[in-house]
Structure 1
Amino acid sequence: MKKIALLVFACALFNCKGNAQDTKEKEKENFEITKTDSEWKAELSDAEYYVLRQAGTERPFSSALNKEHRSGTYHCAACDTPLFKSENKFDSGTGWPSFDQEIKGNVAFGTDTKIGYTRDEEHCATCGGHLGHVFNDGPKETTGERHCINGVALNFKPDNE
């Protein structure tokens, strides 16, 4: 009898579903640029697709944009919308490109509960591509925000081109 009770308890425990395991897509928003999943797969690299369309995260310190110090603008890698300016970039030491503010109106925000607690997610306001998250531990002398962005979600365009 104890074995049956233990088995029932174990089954109930492993079948419980919380927010952290929720893989259901967020409600479909209306974006200016919308494409089918197969169209996005055909246009984006595997890494871009993973981050932008599946809300993945690239490995820290893997983006060449961490060391980008030229003046310019960071654009969405999926739809070319300008998202961040180089004058707002700073080295947060986290391993991802970080900015203290976005280009207003070009970045949209939502809630992400995939890892068991609530975070403020950022995505491109034009195509809905996942960019990263915003935290309140940025430079206090500016906005106090740290927009922690996946480098693979961005294309850098220098001012002199």
Structure 2
Amino acid sequence: MVRRTSLEGAACPVARSLDVIGDWWSLLIVRDAFDGLRRFGEFQRSLGLAKNILAGRLRTLLAHGILEQVPASDGSAYQEYVLTPKGRALFPVVVGLRQWGEAFFYVPGEPHSVLVDSKAGKPVRPLEVRAEDGRLLGPDDAVVRKAGVPGA
């Protein structure tokens, strides 16, 4: 079996993040948790994922504080998986991926799920990246200051 290179100590925050949530199963588990799934069997039915792979991804998400196990909400002996504040902070990441997918992977008029504001019942506006002063930023309007690089 090929061993994956760890990016845990990388200088880049994107690389460190992908080290934990970079495989598609992990992000789909997080997506399902946002949709209200809480139990192992619910995740397995939703994803059609082998139990051993699901168990491994859940262990990783637990170990990194993205999910936590809590007693079942129905009082049964089961444990449930819930998003921690760190996991809930992934909401804009999941929304951004969703909106990118809607924009580039569906033909006009092709049906797909839609994220709606639960209070207003209307679709969520596209995410925007804004400067501290409120200006809309695009890829050419920002630069990464690398850690430990003189003048950065």
The bucket for the TM-score relative to the shorter chain is: 0.3 to 0.5
Q: TM-score, normalised by structure 1?
A: 0.31
Structure with more contact order per residue of length (Cα contacts < 8 Å, sep ≥ 6): 1
> Given the two structures, how large is their TM-score scaled by the length of structure 2?
0.32
